[in-house]
Amino acid sequence: MEGTNITIWVAFLAGLLSFLSPCVLPLVPGYVSLISGVSIDHLKDGNDSRKNARRAVILNSIAFNIGLSMIFLSLGALAGLLGKTVTANPWFRIIGGIVIIGFGLQLMGLLKLSTLYKDTRFFSQQKPRGMLGSMTLGMAFAAGWTPCIGPILGGIIGLAATSGGWKTGLYLSCFYAAGLSVPFMLTGLGINKFLGFYTKFRKHLHKVEVVSGVMLISIGLLVATDKVSVLNAWFSKFIPDAGAIIKVDESSAPNATPVEAGNLKPAPEIELKKISGEDFRLSDLRGRVVLLNFWATWCIPCREEIPELIEMQHDLEARGLSVVGVMWKDSSSIDEIKAYQKEINLDYTILLNGESIADKFGGIQSAPTTFIIDREGRIRQQILGQRQRATFEAAIKPLLDEASPATASK
C-alpha cells in the first residue's frame, strides 16, 4: 500500500513537538477552559463537582481534537494526492526538501519568514457552545495557528507530498494530529499535573524549537537527496512493528485488476546483479511465470509476506513459477541482506539496486509492489501492498495453465 515506506513515528513526534512549542504549550490550559466552559481554578479543585467538570472537559476536548484533526487530515491527503502527480520529477523533490529545511531554520531562529509569524486565528466573544462549538474552534485552531504549528506541520506535509499518494499524506497527518491531540486530552484530565510540569519545563521551550528545527532540517535533507528510506531502516531496528500499524487488512484491500488481453505489454528488459554477484536478465526466464516483488528489509509488510512467497516458490516451481525479489531503496549492506536471507531461509532469487529500474515499470511508489509476468514476458498484473498467498495464486495459477511458447530454465 502507499505510504508503508514512510516513518509514521516521525509525524507523531512532530505533533508532540508542536504541542511543546512556546506558542502552544503556555496556552493549553486556557484552551481547555475555553472549550469546556470550566475555569482553571474549578478544574484544579478536588471537590465532588469536579466530576462533572472532567466530563465536560473530556467531551469537548474530543470534539476540539476532531475538528483539529479534520483540517490536518485534509491537508495531508491533499498534499499527498498532488505530490503523486509530480513526484517523478526530481526537481520537485529537491525543492520540497529545501522548503522543509527552510521551515527548520525558521524554527531555530536562523531564518525569519514573516509570513509564518502571521496569526490568522479568529475568536468569538462568546465561549463555544457544546461539542459543535468546540469542534469548530478546533478547526479554527488548526487552520490559523501558524507561528509554531505551521513550520512543523509544513515539514510533515512536504514529506507527504514528496512521498506520493494521498494515503501517505493521510497516515502522516493522522499521526501528526495524534501527537498534538493526545497530550492535549491528557492535560484536561490532569490540569494540576500539567501546571506542575509546565512550571519546570518552560525554561526548555527554546530547546524544543531547536530540536524541532534540527528534525525538520534532517527530514529536508533526506527528502532532497531521496534518502527517506534511511529513516525507515533506522526505526525498524528499534520499533520493528511500526509498519503493522498501517497495514491494510486483506479483506478491505483493493483487488489487483488483470490486464485485458488486448492491452498486454511486454515487461521491460532488465539486467541487474544477483545478491550472489551473478548477472541476471529477466528475458532468461521467458517461458516461466514470474512474480517480481519490489521489497526492502525495513518494510514490515514486505517481510510479513516473504514466508508465503517462499512457500509458493517451493510448491509451484515445478509448474513454472519463478519468484524474484528486487531490493528497493534499501540502505542495508550486502552482508546484512545475506544475513537476513539466512535467518528466514529466503532461497529465491534476490536482485540488488532495484531503484535503477523502477522507472521502466512506471515508477515504484511504495513497497511491496509486485508484478505478475506471464510465460511470454508480458505484465499481466500489478499488485500494490501486502497480499496473502490466495491473492497471488488467483493471479498466478491461470497463467501456469497457459501453454508455454518455449521452455526456459529457471
Angle of CA points 51, 53, 56, to nearest 5°: 115
Give the cell for residue 224.
Answer: 532532497
Label the pairing between strands 378-384 and 321-327: unpaired
Q: How far is residue 101's CA from residue 151's CA, in Å, rounded to a whole number?
A: 10
Give the CA-trace dihedral at 19, 21, 23, 26, to 10 degrees.
Answer: 70
Tens-digit pLDDT string for the chain (410 aa)? 444 444 577 788 888 887 877 667 776 777 777 766 666 666 666 555 556 666 777 788 788 888 878 877 787 777 666 665 555 566 766 777 787 788 778 777 787 665 555 554 444 445 555 677 778 777 777 665 555 565 676 677 666 665 555 666 777 788 888 888 888 777 767 766 777 777 777 777 778 778 878 877 887 787 777 666 555 555 555 444 444 444 444 444 444 445 444 457 899 999 999 999 999 999 999 999 999 999 988 787 888 899 999 999 999 999 999 999 999 887 788 998 998 899 899 999 999 999 899 889 988 877 889 999 999 999 999 998 888 899 999 999 999 998 665 554 44
**Fold of the 261-400 domain:** Glutaredoxin (3.40.30)
pLDDT of residue 256: 47
pLDDT on residue 125: 45
- pLDDT for position 221: 84
pTM of the model: 0.53
Reading the block at residue 364, the C-alpha cell is: 515504484
Q: What is the pLDDT of residue 243?
A: 43
pLDDT value, residue 44: 60
The predicted pLDDT at position 365 comes to 74
| Angstrom distances, CA of residue 253 to CA of 8, 241, 249, 301, 391 | 20, 20, 6, 13, 11
In 133-157, which positions are buried (b, 16+ CB within 10 angstroms) versus exposed (e)?
bbbbbbbbbbbbbbbbbbbbbbbbb
Domain extents for the chain? 8-246, 261-400
Tally Cβ neighbours within 10 Å of residue 2: 23
